[in-house]
Structure 1
Amino acid sequence: MKSKTVKGNWSLRTKKFGLPSLFFICVFFFLAGFFGASLFSESQEKVYYPRPRARLLDSATEETEYNLLTSGESGDNSITLIPFQVLSWKPRALYFPNFASAEQCETIIDIAKEGLKPSTLALRNGETEESTKGIRTSSGVFISAAEDKTGTLDVIEEKIARATRIPRNHGEAFNILRYEIGQKYASHYDAFNPAEYGPQKSQRIASFLLYLSDVPDGGETMFPFENGLNMDGSYNYEDCTGLRVRPRRGDGLLFYSLFPNGTIDPTSLHGSCPVIKGRKWVATKWIRDQEQDDHDV
């Protein structure tokens, strides 16, 4: 009876659908299986061979909501977003586009013009002003945020503190510099090696450069030892080589002179290439490992 029932059911099915219907059903399932296999294969490729993302971290949008914690007395109750680009890990150098507005840059230049004097050097043991002549040929002036009646340097100093995560009272006064055509600063370290400069009350751990003007040609900030280059003893401390950062008005450059363990990073050697065309203005903020008076240098 089972065989008759099966036969009867099959007969009813074939009569109901017919050969043309069965043909189209077979084609339908074949195509569905084909495209299904293709989609599955593509999904497998995405799992095992992901495409590189253009950005590792996405900037927060206005629609993003954060569940903020209650801050301490010296903290903030809001989030600060300051875009940056990592230029190098050896040395640790970060670039901050559009860090300051054109108006802020012009204001800083105006308040610095009257007090410019030839830039000086911190002399190592055995050096004299005569023996170091020509190493640094710019003009500059030290101005603290408290001395700026416009309040511009106060705003910039606060933003630098947020960008570096180092309290603003660890910074020296701003050293605002002007480089004319042909002027430069030969490669040097911002940190002071006690073996060369004697005991230090505190140490420069980082430097923040705010470019106040565009420079059509020359004037780049250079890191000749970037990623271990030119460290074979042949570098003469004058050549403009290695990683070079072109000044652009309003942009900032942060680099660290010390490793986290407090020793000097040998790849943090840097200098200012000679200006070939135009004029270079830059505001430098040196940051130390201890709290500083605004006028300490």
Structure 2
Amino acid sequence: MRSSMKLFACQVLLLLLLMTIRQAKGEESHCTSVAGMVKLLDVEKHLIDNLEDYAVELEKKLETVRRSITSLRLENDRARGSTEEYLSNPLNSFSLIRRMNRDWMIWQLYMDDPIGLSQVERIQELREHMPTNTDVEEAVTALDRIQNTYGLKISEIAHGLLNGKQYNVSFTALDTYAMGQILFDQENYLAAAGWLYQSVVLMEVYKLAAPLELSKTEVQMVYAETLLKLNQNADALKVVNIALADKPNDIKLLLRRSEIETLIRTGTNQAPLLKKPLQTQGSGNTYQMGCRGQFPASTDARLHCRYNTTTSPFLTLAPFKMELVGLDPYMVLYHDVLSEKEIRELQGMATPGLKRATVFQASSGRNEVVKTRTSKVAWFPDSFSPLTKRLTARITDMTGFNLVGSEMLQLMNYGLGGHYDKHYDYFNQINSNLTAMSGDRIATVLFYLTDVEQGGATVFPNIQKAIFPQRGSVIMWYNLKDDGQPDTQTLHAACPVIVGSKWVCNKWIREREQLFSRPCLKKSM
């Protein structure tokens, strides 16, 4: 048994080492794309099948042991029922001596022989396809982002009530405890306290099965430490006393109670440690209002819907359904632009090559992975396929712009809490390598490939506009003013996805080739 335990310990250490190496390499995040998480279900299936194989091996060994116990006990009971008569027979005596000398040595070796080594090795093989600690931390941050952006209650999230809609899913105490632990490590103590409290509540109702038992005392102590960080000393003392009711002689609990009582008695206080300002955790700012669908309806009579037949000659034959969304900046929404077949083809085309999205950082002069943008992307030249050629022509018809020199098509899929924080699409970089050849981004064209069940709106907080994804629709807006200067009214963000898989495709159009279709008009003094 000792040898098998040593082997298991070595294997665990090896798995941890592999995880550390993977994280050091900065491998792709699993939670930033729903399409990217699909393969995790396949990996989990292999793990479950592997565990079942392990159970079969255990059952075989257990069956062998139980069958042998029956025959061994039968012989021993017969001997002990008439001991003198049994031992007086030389055949019985010899058999007993032989059994005790040899058979039980074989049994010792059989019991010490480890089971499931091949299954353990299989888990090790699959480990490189499994989430790392960094993946779990990103998932925690994503759920916290959803909770904060939409003002959801932690207790409701834990029980599957998301933004007023009940889902047939709920968290276990292991889930809520992981949330609380990691948020505590991130110094987000206010949110951590809510999740740890839910862990305490769930552990009173549901008992976790082996080997995933969770120590109630451990959870209570982390919850108490979180309350202390929030300067809620009296509440922390209550939690410790509740823990002591189950373990009245626990030295660590008694010592911690004494320390907290001293804090309360001496009035040693400090300001609560909050990672986020209180005002961002309440009813919300303009961005949060937009994500929640709380912007007032427009009363501008100039905004209307019509068929666009004028942007290009082709639209005379096949006009687009156009909704004028805004005039400053100019913003239009086109409906029913993509067919179901085209959407499926785009998704199939992008899925194999999805990579973590990056953002250009002016300070470093290169694209970098940042926490403010969580999605996966794939890029395709305009001439990549007949479909991309058709999309390019369609964008030209919608905008009237020349796409020579513009950027490639970018397909994106958002995952757990996927979002893109407030940003501008224009570079505003004069004489930069980014704009020297083709100019700045004069316009953005954004295709919505999917509906999103909850969340995922494109929000323009400065003009209080929110566009919620509609499958097959396209939103287009100008990033530059008539004189070519950046339009700060175009500040926008992609709200976190609550439920659903958000797929989008966008095209950034450069200004250099639009000299005649939208000339730069300098304002007169």
TM over 0.5: yes
What CA distance in whole angstroms lies between the structure 2 residues aligned with 1:196 and 1:243? Answer: 33
Alignment counterpart, residue 205 of structure 1, candidates 434, 439, 442 = 442
User: Equivalent residue for 1:164?
Assistant: 399
Secondary structure at the aligned position of 2:404 is classed as helix
Give 1:121's aligned residue: 359
Shift of 1:77: 11
Which residue of 1 is the match for residue 511 of structure 2?
289
1:105 aligns with 2:343: yes
TM-score by length of 1: 0.63
Between the aligned partners of 2:502 and 2:451, the Cα distance in structure 1 is 7
Cα distance change of structure 1 residues 128 and 175 upon mapping to structure 2, 3 Å threshold: closer
Alignment of 1:149-160 (within 5 A): 151-160=386-395
User: Which residue of 413, 429, 433 maps to 1:178?
Assistant: 413
Change in Cα spacing, 1:55 to 1:253, as seen in structure 2 (3 Å) is closer
Cα pair distance change 1:128/1:54, threshold 3 Å: closer
Corresponding letter in the other structure for 2:377: G
- The alpha-carbon deviation at position 210 of structure 1 amounts to 0.6
Contact 1:211–1:248 (8 Å) recurs in 2: yes
Deviation, 1:147, is: 1.7
**Paired residue type of 2:419:** K
**Could you tell which deviates more after superposition, 192-201 or 92-101?**
192-201
Distance 1:102 1:263, change over 3 A: same
Question: 1:154–1:269: structure 2 CA closer, same or farther, 3 Å change rule?
Answer: same
Give the unaligned 5+ runs of structure 2.
1-300, 515-525
- Return the match for 2:453 from 181, 201, 216: 216
SS in 2 for 1:155: helix
1:9-88 alignment runs, 5 A limit: 79-88=317-326
Write the distance in 1 (CA, Å) between the matches of 2:307 and 2:451.
29
Distance 1:112 1:196, change over 3 A: same
How far apart are 1:98 and its partner, in Å?
0.4
Task: Check the 8 A contact 1:208/1:255 in 2, yes or no.
Answer: yes
- Change in Cα spacing, 1:196 to 1:123, as seen in structure 2 (3 Å) is farther
User: Is residue 137 of structure 1 aligned with residue 374 of structure 2?
Assistant: yes
Residues 141-160 of structure 1: CA distance to partner in whole angstroms, max 9, x if unpaired? 11113122xx1121111011
Q: Deviations over 1:250-285 (max 9, x none)?
A: 000001100111001110111100000011000001
Q: 1:167, 1:193 → 2: CA distance?
A: 21
Q: 1:248 aligns with which of 470, 473, 480?
A: 470
- The answer to whether the 8 A contact 1:124-1:196 is kept is no
| Alpha-carbon contact 2:305-2:321 (below 8 Å) kept | no
Q: Distance in 2 between matches of 1:58 and 1:116?
A: 35
Q: Secondary structure at the match of 2:470?
A: coil
Residue 350 of structure 2 aligns to a residue in which SS? helix
1:266 match = 488
1:181, distance to aligned residue in structure 2 (A)? 2.3
* CA distance in 1 between partners of 2:346 and 2:392 (Å): 12
Q: What RMSD in Å do the two structures reach over aligned CA positions?
A: 3.0
2:50 match:
none
Residue 163 of structure 2: aligned partner? none
Q: Relative to structure 1, is the Cα distance of residues 119 and 266 closer, same or farther in structure 2, using a 3 angstrom cutoff?
A: same
CA contact (8 A) 2:322 2:334 kept: yes
Deviation at 1:164, TM superposition (A): 0.2
**Counterpart Cα distance in 1 of 2:367 and 2:402:** 34
CA distance in 2, matches of 1:139, 1:129: 14
Separation in 1, partners of 2:308, 2:330: 22
Report deviation, 1:165.
0.4
Cα distance in 2 for partners of 1:140, 1:54 equals: 33
1:224-243: CA deviations, max 9, x gaps? Answer: 111xxxxxxxxxxxxxxx31
Q: 1:55 to 1:182 in 2, by over 3 A?
A: closer
Cα deviation, residue 81, structure 1: 1.7
Deviates more, 1:186-195 or 1:110-119: 186-195
Letter paired with 1:135: T
Q: Tell me if the contact between 2:461 and 2:491 (Cα under 8 Å) persists in the aligned partners.
A: yes
**Distance in 2 between residues matched to 1:283 and 1:53, nearest whole Å:** 29
Q: Is the 8 A contact 2:357 2:374 kept in 1?
A: yes
How far off its partner does 1:199 sit?
Answer: 7.0
Taking a change above 3 Å as real, the CA distance of residues 162 and 170 of structure 1, as seen in their structure-2 partners, is farther
- CA gap of 1:261–1:110, structure 2 versus 1, over 3 A, is same
How far off its partner does 1:75 sit?
A: 7.5
Amino acid at match of 1:113: T
Equivalent pairs counted in the alignment come to 210
Higher strand proportion (structure 1 or 2)? 1
Gaps of 5+ in 1: 1-51, 61-73, 227-241, 293-297
**TM-superposition CA deviations, 1:12-48 (whole Å, max 9, x none):** xxxxxxxxxxxxxxxxxxxxxxxxxxxxxxxxxxxxx
C-alpha distance after superposition, 1:90-146 (max 9, x if no partner): 22210001011111111101100011000011112268878x721111100111131
Distance 2:415 2:391 in 1: 24
Whole-Å separation in 1 of the counterparts to 2:425 and 2:493:
10
Contact 1:88 1:94 in 2 (8 A): yes
Q: Which residue in 2 is equivalent to 1:280?
A: 502
**Alignment TM-score, normalising by the size of structure 2:** 0.37
Residues 121 and 285 of structure 1: CA distance in aligned 2, closer, same or farther (over 3 Å): same
Name the stretch that deviates more: 76-85 or 252-261.
76-85
In structure 1, the residue matched to 2:196 is none
Query: Share of identical aligned residues, percent?
Result: 29
CA distance in 1, matches of 2:451, 2:378: 20
The answer to which structure, 1 or 2, has the higher relative contact order (CA under 8 A, 6+ apart) is 1
Give me the whole-angstrom Cα distance separating, in 1, the residues matched to 2:494 and 2:303. Answer: 31
